[in-house]
Structure 1
Amino acid sequence: MKTLSLTATRLVLSLAAAGIVGGASVGLVSGTPASAATPVATLQTAPVAAGTALPDFSQIAQRHGAAVVNISVVGKAGVEDEQQAQNRLPPGIDPNDPFFEFFKRFQGPGGQGGEREMPARGQGSGFIISADGLVLTNAHVVRNAQRVTVKLTDRREFVAKVLGTDPKTDVAVLRIDAKDLPVVPLGSAKDLKVGEWVLAIGSPFGFENSVTVGVVSAKGRSLPDDSFVPFIQTDVAVNPGNSGGPLFNARGEVVGINSQIYSRTGGYQGLSFAIPMETVLHVKDQIVAHGKASHARLGVTVQEINQTLAESFQLDKPEGALVSSVEPDSPAAKAGLQVGDVIRQVGGQTIVASGDLPALIGQTLPGSTVQLNVWRKGQAVVLSAKLGDASDKAVKVARADSATDQGRLGLALRPLAPQERRAAGLEGPDGGLLVEDAQGPAALAGVEAGDVLLAVNGAKVQSVEQVRAMLGGSTKSLALLIQRDGNQIFVPIRLG
């Protein structure tokens, strides 16, 4: 299971399906609407005591379970070096033992040392949305896949074609060569109510067509690094292998794709998250038509409004997205947005929490013009913004990186946003750069994306240009002061 490494006292966000895992052993991982004639199961209740009743999901499971599939993936996970190969030897064997070379040679491919490609296998879930073989699942289930196999409940297996994936929303669309397949009816997450019963079907730990039930705990949740998705939170038991499977409402309609869990241990602890079908179908339609999905970009950094900030900005209630920075030449800058503005509505839709803004903008097509209702210095202001393409930002960062001697150091850097600076516990307006990507010498030294670069050779860094200047001349090595999870360490880097 893919897990963000945090301290023991902090919660760990992990994908509900383990991504592709290395090794020869199997690692557990985790539209077109159905025809109007597709029957929808009717919720039955089973009396348990006078005046109380529990829902009976057996009809939903029986009627639509055949449209839920198991997905097996084979790909590449990387290479195994000499040390990793040695770690697979019997524990406690001494390199000087006469049997050391015997075990080393006969432990399988790659036992001669050096490096070898590692096979990668994974499992997840999915569901059929068209009788001619269109299947939905999570993007992380089929990431880096070379071969994807879809297995039906009648034991038939098909090699699937990945029509496209969208990592920003974690949605993937597959196609299998088959006809007259069972399909699931699709519903709307907008109609869900907190406390409503829901059901998940999937392959947790490889146990195919397993059914778990629970209730909707919340709607519109924003999770770290998933700002494009307003998640449905449930207490349905979701475990490795459930990723990509459907979340049904009590009427037997699919209202979401099970995607992530929130946990201290990496396993289910009562917090599961599903991608709403509105988001899924928006992405699916683009992938089917163009092979990829596009997302709009406004170009602002926003933060949450609490009661104190609401009073400071003369707001009647703590709602909206507070603009803490505006990217130069971005759609936001061209529209006239300013730091300190509070965005309260976009296209007539109210922004309650700050996470509502990126989720709403991200589901809009690039080039669209939206009306922004903004609160500025105690007064309401209406602005019009023509949204850009979220992929444009990555292109600009890449060009800037190539101009900052990335070939020598291998770091893609940018200044920290105010809220990122606060999260990192850094004081003062200057100092510190966020590592957006690490390659080459920096990656080999252990620097990772998400680290904060504080200093180079003891000198605090405030800009990318300053780092570029430090790379000039005949410098052969650098000592980078890196902060990660609140800890600081000098990382020595030898430049190639």
Structure 2
Amino acid sequence: MGVMDRSRSWAVALAGIAVGCAAGLALAFTGTVHAPAALAQFAGAEKSAGTSEGPQLGAGSAPDADVGGGGGVHSRFAILAREASPGVVNVHTSKTVVQQFPDLGPFGDLFGGLFDRRFGGGPRSPQGQPEPRRFTVPSLGSGFVISEDGLIVTNYHVVEEVDKLEIVFVDGTHSDAEVVGTDPKTDIALVRAKEKRAYTALRLGDSAALLPGDWVIAVGNPFGLDHTVTAGIVSATGRDIGQGPYDDYIQTDAAINPGNSGGPLLNIAGEVVGINTAINPQANTIGFAVPINMAKEILPQLEQGKQVVRGWLGVGVQPVTAELADALHLETQQGALIRQVTPKGPAAKAGLERRDVILRFGDKPIEKMRELPRAVAATAPGTKVELEVVRDGKHLKKTIEVGKLEEETAKVERGEKGAPSDDTGSTAFGFDITDGEGGAQITNVYPGGPGESAGLEVGDVIKEVDRKPVDGALDAENKLRAARDKTLLVIEREGSSLLVVVKRSK
């Protein structure tokens, strides 16, 4: 995808205690594959909450109803937490961080003593510069067991580039572990514990069955406080928090804190419905979890140690604004507006054109632009899909064969060979653009985003990025992608030029 729509821009902190860990999109979609034996039970059609095999706790009962057990009277939350605890683990990691000292230039001898006193001395270069120092930095996260042979799900940002990985179970025992597979685009990782022991696997539910208001429980390792249990409700589903085109988060008010990353979000039947992933650091009760159905689609591939196979449409899309709907004579603002078609790509071969609006992908209606990548993500490359599009006021049917995103294609769509990206160009700076007269015109500024903070307005025309002239939206996207985190823009507004510094979203 190209320019993406964000009705809100959240400051999202990944909920893991780590130094330098961040969850990393070109238009790329997850394909469906056959599941190997260990994960075969998780593939295919999903079951509604409370219908999975295994002991049930009465999904329809009120969670605060008293339940007898353990010599006393306990809430259903307590029973769920007790039964789930053997399958919830703490993830202890460590990585080596290199500390680079500033270049003192000709003042190395003058200030060298200061660095010796501050950092305890150490090796120096012939120019008097302190040599880089290496530190081992520990990190904490959470995870949950999904198979009897020790497969554990956690977040990618919990295990990203770690040197050591250790799993700690509820009984205090430890096991070394290894990373089996990762998918940065969805922030999901699969690891395997090496210890020979009996593993308690948690049942995976159906996140599509969740409704706002449903009770959920988060279990994890916040701030190193192992097996902390918090309860709340599903606040919303399908949340887009600006992390990529696959955003489909479950929002919950169950307390999630740093260290909860990778832990399970359970429904009242004791099934995993989400992977706790992120928080809004400016709020106390806004947390986000990756839907477990998204994980089910890629876990079989991760278990085999493969890179996740994704599809490719070969289009850049943008939301349909009121102004665009009026200009294109569209009846509604629904759908995904094609702003460019990659030559010889699947969309070009299917006869799609710029200014077409995709209203349906297969049997899935596309009401908002962001729904298109999620729909295609569930489609295997090579699948033929019928599209419903609007062109010049007429509804057309087009059949497209979803392509496979190769690494070279991904580089192109990230802008390394001239095509726009999803979240590293203008969207990373908090605005959408299109071709404008003598530059790139801003068509949308995200509320609360860096573009709004910098004073950018709809209608501004970007003339330069970091002192380099801009020739249209595509050129601007490429320059913004390569720009510094704080970049200087020259914009034209109502016949006058302005210089604006805008920051990249973190």
TM over 0.5: yes
Taking the aligned partners of 2:386 and 2:322, their CA distance within structure 1 comes to 26
Query: Are 1:140 and 2:146 matched, yes or no?
Result: no
Query: Are 1:46 and 2:64 matched, yes or no?
Result: yes
One-letter amino acid of the structure 2 residue matched with residue 151 of structure 1: V
**Offset of 1:107 from its aligned partner?**
9.0
**Offset of 1:236 from its aligned partner?**
2.0
**Offset of 1:180 from its aligned partner?**
2.1
Taking the aligned partners of 1:212 and 1:126, their CA distance within structure 2 comes to 15
**Offset of 1:214 from its aligned partner?**
1.6
- Trace 1:222-301 onto structure 2 (pairs within 5 A): 222-264=240-282, 268-301=283-316
DSSP-derived class of the 2:297 partner: helix
Taking the aligned partners of 1:461 and 1:69, their CA distance within structure 2 comes to 51
Q: Is the 8 A contact 1:128 1:182 kept in 2?
A: yes
User: 1:419 and 1:311, CA in 2 relative to 1: closer, same or farther beyond 3 A?
Assistant: farther
Structure 1 gaps, min length 5: 1-8, 23-30, 49-53, 85-93, 405-411, 434-451, 468-479, 491-496
Taking the aligned partners of 1:367 and 1:315, their CA distance within structure 2 comes to 31
Q: Give the match for residue 199 of structure 2.
A: 181
Taking the aligned partners of 1:466 and 1:355, their CA distance within structure 2 comes to 23
- Trace 1:309-458 onto structure 2 (pairs within 5 A): 317-390=332-405, 391-396=407-412, 423=431, 428-431=436-439, 455=464, 458=467
User: 1:201 and 1:330, CA in 2 relative to 1: closer, same or farther beyond 3 A?
Assistant: same
Q: Which moved more, 1:167-176 or 1:292-301?
A: 292-301
One-letter amino acid of the structure 2 residue matched with residue 171 of structure 1: I
User: 1:80 and 1:191, CA in 2 relative to 1: closer, same or farther beyond 3 A?
Assistant: same
Q: Is the 8 A contact 1:193 1:216 kept in 2?
A: yes
**Offset of 1:39 from its aligned partner?**
2.2
Q: Give the match for residue 20 of structure 1.
A: 19
Taking the aligned partners of 1:183 and 1:198, their CA distance within structure 2 comes to 19
Query: Are 1:129 and 2:146 matched, yes or no?
Result: yes
DSSP-derived class of the 2:303 partner: helix
Q: Give the match for residue 163 of structure 1.
A: 180
User: 1:376 and 1:231, CA in 2 relative to 1: closer, same or farther beyond 3 A?
Assistant: same
Q: Give the match for residue 449 of structure 1.
A: none
**Offset of 1:281 from its aligned partner?**
1.0
1:368-395 alpha-carbon deviations (Å, 9 max, x no partner): 2221111222222111112223344224
**Offset of 1:210 from its aligned partner?**
0.8
**Offset of 1:272 from its aligned partner?**
1.7
One-letter amino acid of the structure 1 residue matched with residue 235 of structure 2: S
Q: Is the 8 A contact 2:123 2:130 kept in 1?
A: no
One-letter amino acid of the structure 2 residue matched with residue 428 of structure 1: G
DSSP-derived class of the 1:130 partner: coil
DSSP-derived class of the 2:89 partner: strand
One-letter amino acid of the structure 1 residue matched with residue 15 of structure 2: A
DSSP-derived class of the 1:373 partner: strand
Taking the aligned partners of 2:462 and 2:324, their CA distance within structure 1 comes to 30
**Offset of 1:342 from its aligned partner?**
1.7
Taking the aligned partners of 2:378 and 2:168, their CA distance within structure 1 comes to 31
**Offset of 1:418 from its aligned partner?**
8.9
Query: Are 1:119 and 2:136 matched, yes or no?
Result: yes
User: 1:108 and 1:243, CA in 2 relative to 1: closer, same or farther beyond 3 A?
Assistant: farther
Q: Give the match for residue 473 of structure 1.
A: none
1:91-135 alpha-carbon deviations (Å, 9 max, x no partner): xxx9698x9745543699999922122323211110001111010
User: Which residue, 209, 213, 219 being the options, matches 1:195?
Assistant: 213
One-letter amino acid of the structure 2 residue matched with residue 57 of structure 1: F
User: 1:456 and 1:62, CA in 2 relative to 1: closer, same or farther beyond 3 A?
Assistant: closer
Q: Give the match for residue 218 of structure 1.
A: 236
Taking the aligned partners of 2:172 and 2:327, their CA distance within structure 1 comes to 62
Identical residues among aligned pairs (%): 31
One-letter amino acid of the structure 1 residue matched with residue 349 of structure 2: K
User: 1:241 and 1:190, CA in 2 relative to 1: closer, same or farther beyond 3 A?
Assistant: same
TM-score calculated relative to the size of structure 2:
0.71
1:456-495 alpha-carbon deviations (Å, 9 max, x no partner): 895514289999xxxxxxxxxxxx97349x97469xxxxx
Q: Give the match for residue 61 of structure 1.
A: 81
User: 1:354 and 1:162, CA in 2 relative to 1: closer, same or farther beyond 3 A?
Assistant: same
User: Which residue, 213, 220, 224 being the options, matches 1:206?
Assistant: 224
Q: Is the 8 A contact 1:232 1:273 kept in 2?
A: yes
Taking the aligned partners of 1:420 and 1:263, their CA distance within structure 2 comes to 19
Taking the aligned partners of 1:388 and 1:21, their CA distance within structure 2 comes to 34
Taking the aligned partners of 2:465 and 2:211, their CA distance within structure 1 comes to 52
Q: Is the 8 A contact 1:41 1:63 kept in 2?
A: no
**Offset of 1:168 from its aligned partner?**
0.8
**Offset of 1:156 from its aligned partner?**
1.0
Q: Is the 8 A contact 2:154 2:189 kept in 1?
A: yes
Taking the aligned partners of 2:374 and 2:381, their CA distance within structure 1 comes to 14
One-letter amino acid of the structure 2 residue matched with residue 230 of structure 1: D
Taking the aligned partners of 1:103 and 1:20, their CA distance within structure 2 comes to 22
Between 1 and 2, higher relative CO (CA 8 Å, sep ≥ 6) is seen in 2
One-letter amino acid of the structure 1 residue matched with residue 269 of structure 2: R
User: 1:320 and 1:483, CA in 2 relative to 1: closer, same or farther beyond 3 A?
Assistant: same
**Offset of 1:340 from its aligned partner?**
2.0
DSSP-derived class of the 2:395 partner: strand
Query: Are 1:482 and 2:498 matched, yes or no?
Result: no
User: 1:205 and 1:306, CA in 2 relative to 1: closer, same or farther beyond 3 A?
Assistant: same
TM-score calculated relative to the size of structure 1:
0.72
The alignment yields a C-alpha RMSD, in angstroms, of 4.4
Q: Is the 8 A contact 1:228 1:360 kept in 2?
A: no
Q: Give the match for residue 471 of structure 2.
A: 462
One-letter amino acid of the structure 2 residue matched with residue 394 of structure 1: A
Q: Is the 8 A contact 2:180 2:305 kept in 1?
A: no
Residue-pair matches, total: 419
**Offset of 1:11 from its aligned partner?**
3.9
Q: Is the 8 A contact 1:33 1:186 kept in 2?
A: no
Structure 2 gaps, min length 5: 1-7, 22-38, 43-50, 67-73, 105-109, 442-460, 477-485, 491-497
One-letter amino acid of the structure 2 residue matched with residue 354 of structure 1: M
One-letter amino acid of the structure 1 residue matched with residue 168 of structure 2: K
